[in-house]
Amino acid sequence: MCDLYNIIEELRLELNQLYTYKKLVDKEIIKLSEKLDKAINEYYQLQKTGR
């Protein structure tokens, strides 16, 4: 689960950087945001199951 947390943190930082020079409707922003959402959902599912 620690690896997943690190992935989430990396995606969050990358998304933050992209926000500074791209519009929120940019395809790259949307794709990265969806990837981050998926990782966060997976993280919470793992926490629920106690893994």
Name 32's Cβ contacts closer than 8 Å, sequence gap at least 6.
11, 14, 15, 18
Q: What is the pLDDT of residues 13-41, one digit of tens each?
A: 999 999 899 998 999 999 999 999 999 99
Specify the pTM.
0.84
Chain centroid, CA 44 distance in Å = 13
Measured CA to CA in angstroms, residue 28 lies from 4, 7, 9, 40, 47 at distances of 21, 17, 17, 18, 29
| pLDDT computed for residue 51 by the predictor | 64
Q: Which residue has the higher pLDDT, 1 or 20?
A: 20
What is the structure's pLDDT at 50? Answer: 78
